[in-house]
Structure 1
Amino acid sequence: MSPESTGQNEHYLRVFWRGFRTWRGNRPFWAGLFTMVGGLPIAYFPYANMHLGNVTLAMSTTAGAGSLIIGILLITLGLTMWFHHIVRVFAGVAAILLALISIPVANIGGFVIGFVLSLLGGALSIAWAPGEPKAAAADAGVQGEAFKDAGAGMQEPQPEFQGVASVPQQPEQYDTTAEVDGGRHRAE
């Protein structure tokens, strides 16, 4: 092993955790997790049997199939938030609607646990926005300072591209006063 090689001595768990953090940061992770965890009690409780000593309580209702469908759809929406974050707004709205429908259909929304978690996951999915890359954010900050320093009569700074020849701007061949003052011409 040469001293120039880096990263080969890192533990595989540290490499996995770093990759997971990167993956998690690029999508509405917590929204998907809350939505999936909220779908579990909604789908489970109508089919569960509680044993209290010698007494068995069956919580099944006539809407057991509806509860199962709502729970599976919430789990699917949570996975959609993770793996297709482009449709996060649709998935968030659908999760909120399914959570609201689960109140009358699925034992008060999975005894309120599933309802609250699904509602929270849907809201987080709608509110989540992808972050800007660090290089783009730094460029935007530099460009913002350039606009702040520009005078009122000066043109906005044009971005310079490396390797591309800039095209000189042609003087305007027409009068733009009609556009500037709303169509009224000034006599000068």
Structure 2
Amino acid sequence: MFLNPGPTEAAPRLSRFPVAGREHVRTARHRFRAWRGSRPFWAGLFTLTAGVPILYFPYVRLSLSGIPLALSTTAGAGALITGVLLIALGVSLWVRPQTRVFAGIAGLLLSLVSFPLANFGGLFLGLLAGLIGGSLACAWAEPAQAGAPDTDV
């Protein structure tokens, strides 16, 4: 009864969206894929994500099994500047992919500076994400044009 609907039972509807809605979602997904493929998307995402824990941990009050854990440092302003700059570099990688080398090297340096400055680089989360994002930004190459001749001989 549950696996095969009988002749009197209607088959379950697979989608809530009408066909036109599916086409809209499909075209939006294809446009996002084309946009993502034309810029260092993952480098920007990792770099942007690196700024969040660097910003978060110096200003939050944590507790470990009821024991208050203060991660506030005297260099809270340094953590704020480092985190905001990493977020700005991640967004700039999406908006201006031409700045990928500068943003990649700056992301790498800011991530390394965050280690002593901002609670071990946001408890190593921001440090690792920033190193990965900066490396991806430096390694990213623009996709070849469809009609352009191949120069790799």
- Aligned ranges for residues 22-171 of structure 1 at < 5 Å? 22-136=34-148, 140=149
1:157 aligned partner: none
Higher helix proportion? 2
* Residue correspondences, number: 135
Shift of 1:54: 3.9
TM-score (norm 2): 0.81
Shift of 1:50: 1.0
TM-score (norm 1): 0.67
Gaps of 5+ in 2: 1-19
RMSD: 2.2
Structure 2 residue matching 1:56: 3-state secondary structure = strand
**In 2, Cα distance between equivalents of 1:118 and 1:53:** 30
Structure 2 residue matching 1:12: 3-state secondary structure = helix
**In 1, Cα distance between equivalents of 2:52 and 2:89:** 12
Shift of 1:58: 2.0
In structure 1, give the amino acid aligned to 2:61.
Answer: N
Shift of 1:82: 0.5
Structure 1 residue matching 2:63: 3-state secondary structure = strand
**In 2, Cα distance between equivalents of 1:24 and 1:12:** 18
**In 2, Cα distance between equivalents of 1:121 and 1:9:** 35
The C-alpha deviation readout for 1:37-56, integer Å capped at 9, x for no partner, is 11110111001111335432
Gaps of 5+ in 1: 1-7, 149-188
Larger-gyration structure (1/2): 1
Structure ranking higher on relative contact order (CA contacts 8 Å, 6+ apart): 2
